[in-house]
Amino acid sequence: MSSLGERFSGLTKPVTQSLFAIAIGLAIGALLLAIWGYDPLAGFYQLFNSAFFTEIGLASTLSYATTLMLVGITFGLGMRAGLFNIGAEGQLMVGALAAVAASTFSLPPGLHLLVGVIFAMLAGALWALPVAILKVKKGVHEVVSTIMLNWIAYYLCLYLVLGPLFKAGTHTSIQIQSSSRFPLLFGTLSSAIFVAILFAIIVYFIMWHTKLGVKIRAVGFDQESARYMGINPGRAMMIGFIIGGLAAGLAGGAVVMGVPPDYAVFTELSNIVGYGFAGIAVALIGRNHPLGIIFSAVFFGGLWSGKRAMQMFAGIPLEIVDVVIGVIVICVAIPELLHIIRSKIKGRPS
Amino acid sequence: MIFEEITFALAVFAFGLSLIEFIDAFRAGPLPVPAWLRKIKIRRKWVLGIILCMATVVIFCVMQLAGLEVPSLIMISLSTMVLLGLVAIGEVVNERAGTVNIGLEGILLLSSFAAVYGTEVSGKWPVGVFLGVTVGALTGLIHGLISIYAKGNQIISGMGINLFAAGFVAFGIWTAWVPGVHMLSPGLGIPRISTPWGGLSWFVPLTIALALVVQFVFYKTTWGVRLRAAGENPGAVDASGVNVFRLRLLACIFGATLAGLAGAFMSLDWVGMTTKALPAGRGFIALGCVVFSGLEPLSALGAAALFGFFEALSIWIMAIPGIAAVIPSGASNFVKMIPYIIILVAVAAVISRRRFPKSVGRPYRREEI
């Protein structure tokens, strides 16, 4: 019983901190809306009502959550290995385009889907490889290299989507063939969500129940100590980047192979940008734990899915959701925020 | 005229700086460099620099005779140098004191919007610049409080600023004008020094002067020593009776203020508009300049000139009349990749020879007695 109690109390602190950050984010969002003369309550009512209490909205919430979960794992796994891997944005784009390219083959239905998924994942991992090599061999900080590769990926994908993979006479790339689409569950929700959850569980298993996972976490905890224990930090970081790349690539595949009705990439890439950076917030609110990320992805998926209803019915620009996400991330940066506020209220020096 | 000469001198100065950085990178380069090139002494490095400089002038003359607009390439280079240079110099000061701010991209975005907003509302550009700089300073204050006093995670805080800025500016442009883009009303931009090749921004001499001043303060004044020591060994600075926290906070605000100034320059002086993605990664390119320069103010300006040149090149190539007929369609996307690829390769080339302050990125905790 006591072990259960300990486990529970070990869980309450991170959950409280995450909820607190979310609350501050929503409060500041509401404040900004009020300053600009909008009605925040009506807006948030529309947002959450549409996202979680309508069938169409819920399907789209879970559909967004599928992708956000995977890019969240990219960043969260990186954090566990002591890396700030913000390259999910570019890796996702490359993965999405690779899935489109793979869909031009003609293969039997089940196999074709599998080939598409593998292509997307490998493309994501391939895009993460230079970051890993530059970090391990040269010591280039991953924030600089991932951002540069994100932009290179952006222009590469712009070229592909308007060039070799363009579908003439439309505003999208070639559509994914029906043989390599994820089967739909209900509404616009596809079975890609099961693949994403499975991926999260596999990552959880690797990180907490294998020697490799212990090594990766040891490197993230203290690189020097890990080195003295005989762990090769370079190898652990390499694996951290590669698994992250696989996750982000799969996320890109899920966006194009599992989101009706387009099953394609828009020519301005508008349906594949933004996930990677939102994934940072997903990972942080999920405390960089694969299982926590599953739940936090559903929350952020709800924000993404409900923002259109908020714009449509409450007349509030949907970008306010990005403001809320930004504030949430800033709040998470301060681990002792609750403690600081509590001691300030009680008048004690912190 | 005198202005013509000033422009020419500035262009040569910026170009010389960029060449020095280029040679420096090349000597360390990832390519197999012959041993004799590695062994070249400093004086020969200058000789090599002068030869390269002359070769480039010849190339430019040939390009000019071939009908290409070389002066416009130089003018764009100076603009990109100012933008990257201001941000990079500020961040050099900040990182030397021990704090990293990767929210520079967000600060550029916020201040470029604020500057246009202030100018449109008041009808005067100084108000816009003031508002842009203030927004930069305030963001720096918040980042500094989080990372220095609350001992939060600096990278996460910086990323949060970037995400916040992306949302807030899109929201702001939407509510103030129409969604997406707002062009600055004609006649409200910052006036320029007129030269035969078009307007030269006042920010160009300002940036160069600033780099020289910061270099002087760094190595010739007590404050410079304290600042550098705060990044190397904050405990020693604290023990000598200087408030490390306040010093770092001031450095952080200074860096963010310069980024705010750069944002105001970008929207009011250079492009004359505000969009929800105006900096397009230049805040991060400036971070690359900082790493490339090894945290030296003058080198940071040189790096800004170097990468600014490549960025200007990618803009300029696509603006050559008739270029669309010559190169295949879609190639423009590859041209736009150039600056990002170059900075990645250049940083990888020099990083092993750079030394960074020991406690950069780590919050200082005073030891409990």
What is the per-residue pLDDT across A244-259, written as a single tens digit (0 to 9) for each? Answer: 999 999 999 999 998 8
Label residue A9 by pLDDT band (50, 70, 90): low
In the predicted structure, residue A350 carries a pLDDT above the cut 50? no
Q: How does DSSP classify residue A172?
A: B
Q: So what's the pLDDT on residue B32?
A: 52
Asked if B168's CB is within 8 angstroms of A326's CB, the reply is yes
Nearest Cα neighbor of B277 from A75, A322, A252 is A322
Q: So what's the pLDDT on residue B124?
A: 87
Label residue B28 by pLDDT band (50, 70, 90): low
Question: Which of B110, B177, B333 is best to mutate for the A interface (most A CBs within 10 A)?
Answer: B333
Candidate from A261-275, A332-346, B46-60, B70-84 with smallest mean pLDDT: B46-60
Asked if B157's CB is within 8 angstroms of A330's CB, the reply is yes
Asked if A320's CB is within 8 angstroms of B150's CB, the reply is no
Contact indicator for B109, B165 with CB cutoff of 8 Å: yes
Chain A residues whose beta carbon lies within 8 Å of the beta carbon of residue B336:
155
Label residue A1 by pLDDT band (50, 70, 90): very low
Distance CA B38, CA A172 (A): 51
In the predicted structure, residue A127 carries a pLDDT above the cut 80? yes
Question: Which of B197-203's residues contact partners 24+ apart within 8 Å by CB, and which partners?
Answer: B197/B7, B197/B71, B197/B72, B197/B74, B197/B75, B198/B71, B198/B72, B198/B75, B200/B3, B200/B6, B200/B7, B200/B10, B200/B75, B200/B78, B201/B78, B201/B79, B201/B82, B201/B265, B201/B269, B201/B270, B203/B82, B203/B86, B203/B265, B203/B269
In the predicted structure, residue B182 carries a pLDDT above the cut 70? yes
Candidate from A168-182, A288-302, B229-243 with smallest mean pLDDT: A168-182
Q: Looking up tokens 């246009």, which residue turns up?
A: B116
- Please report, as a single letter, which amino acid is at residue B297: P
- Round the average pLDDT of chain B to a whole number and report it: 83
Asked if B337's CB is within 8 angstroms of A151's CB, the reply is yes
Nearest to B337 among A147, A152, A322 (CB): A152
Instruction: Let me know the angle formed at the C-alpha of A205 by A333 and A239, rounded to the nearest 5 degrees.
Output: 70
Distance CA A95, CA A12 (A): 36
In chain B, where are the structural domains located?
A: 2-353
The number of beta carbons lying within 10 Å of the beta carbon of residue B6 is 15
Averaged over B237-243, what is the pLDDT?
A: 89
Shortest Cα–Cα distance, B174 to chain A (Å):
7
| Domains detected in chain A | 1-38+316-350 (no CATH), 63-314 (1.10.3470)
Distance CA B317, CA B35 (A): 35
What residue of B is the nearest CA neighbor of A318? Answer: B171
Q: So what's the pLDDT on residue A3?
A: 55
In the predicted structure, residue B31 carries a pLDDT above the cut 60? no
Label residue B164 by pLDDT band (50, 70, 90): very high
Contact indicator for A293, A200 with CB cutoff of 8 Å: yes
Q: So what's the pLDDT on residue B33?
A: 56
Asked if B151's CB is within 8 angstroms of A148's CB, the reply is no
B263: left (phi over 0), alpha (psi -120 to 50) or beta: alpha
Chain B residues whose beta carbon lies within 8 Å of the beta carbon of residue A277:
159, 162-163, 166
In the predicted structure, residue B214 carries a pLDDT above the cut 50? yes
The SS3 assignment for B199 reads strand
Distance CA A87, CA A142 (A): 8
In the predicted structure, residue B5 carries a pLDDT above the cut 70? no
Averaged over B286-302, what is the pLDDT?
A: 88
Nearest to A326 among B163, B333, B340 (CB): B163
User: Which has more pLDDT, B271 or A203?
Assistant: A203
Is the backbone peptide bond immediately before A261 cis, with ω within 30 degrees of 0? yes
Reported ipTM: the value is: 0.89
Q: So what's the pLDDT on residue B187?
A: 77
Beta-carbon contacts of B279 under 8 Å, excluding residues fewer than 6 positions away, are B105, B108, B109, B112, B263, B266
Averaged over A225-242, what is the pLDDT?
A: 91
Q: So what's the pLDDT on residue B369?
A: 44
**Class of B2-353 per CATH?**
mainly alpha
In the predicted structure, residue B130 carries a pLDDT above the cut 80? yes
Question: Which of A154, A223, A224, A322 is best to mutate for the B interface (most B CBs within 10 A)?
Answer: A322
What residue of A is the nearest CA neighbor of B343? Answer: A148
Asked if A147's CB is within 8 angstroms of B168's CB, the reply is no
Shortest Cα–Cα distance, B348 to chain A (Å):
6
- The listed range with the strongest mean pLDDT (A117-121, A227-231, B278-282) is A117-121
Nearest to B163 among A158, A162, A329 (CB): A329
Alpha helices in chain A, H assignment, sequence order: 2-35, 40-53, 55-80, 88-102, 109-133, 142-162, 192-209, 211-221, 223-228, 233-257, 275-285, 290-314, 320-332, 337-346
Angle between helices B2-28 and B282-293 (to 10 degrees): 70
User: Which has more pLDDT, B41 or B338?
Assistant: B338
Averaged over A277-292, what is the pLDDT?
A: 91
Label residue B137 by pLDDT band (50, 70, 90): very high
B40: left (phi over 0), alpha (psi -120 to 50) or beta: beta
Candidate from A92-106, A285-299, B4-18 with smallest mean pLDDT: B4-18
Averaged over B36-53, what is the pLDDT?
A: 60
Nearest to A336 among B150, B155, B337 (CB): B150
Chain B residues whose beta carbon lies within 8 Å of the beta carbon of residue A147:
281, 284
Chain B residues whose beta carbon lies within 8 Å of the beta carbon of residue A333:
146-147, 152-154, 156-157, 160
What residue of B is the nearest CA neighbor of A158? Answer: B333
* Diameter of chain A measured on Cα atoms: 70
What residue of B is the nearest CA neighbor of A75? Answer: B156
Q: So what's the pLDDT on residue B30?
A: 47
Shortest Cα–Cα distance, A206 to chain B (Å):
25
Q: So what's the pLDDT on residue B44?
A: 53
Q: What would the two tokens of residue A52 be? A: 């979680």
pTM for the whole structure = 0.87
Distance CA B90, CA B191 (A): 24
Torsion on CA atoms B126, B127, B131, B137, rounded to nearest 10: 50
Q: What would the two tokens of residue B136 be? A: 């930069």
Averaged over B254-272, what is the pLDDT?
A: 92
In the predicted structure, residue A121 carries a pLDDT above the cut 50? yes
The number of beta carbons lying within 10 Å of the beta carbon of residue B222 is 9
Label residue B113 by pLDDT band (50, 70, 90): very high
Distance CA B41, CA B45 (A): 6
Candidate from A29-38, A155-164, A233-242, A341-350 with smallest mean pLDDT: A341-350
Nearest Cα neighbor of B182 from B168, B194, B192, B172 is B172
Q: How far is CA B322 from the centre of its chain?
A: 31
Q: What would the two tokens of residue B72 be? A: 């416009």
User: Which has more pLDDT, A97 or B38?
Assistant: A97
Label residue B193 by pLDDT band (50, 70, 90): confident
Q: So what's the pLDDT on residue A62?
A: 93
Instruction: Let me know the angle formed at the C-alpha of A107 by A101 and A113, rounded to the nearest 5 degrees.
Output: 65
- Please report, as a single letter, which amino acid is at residue A41: L
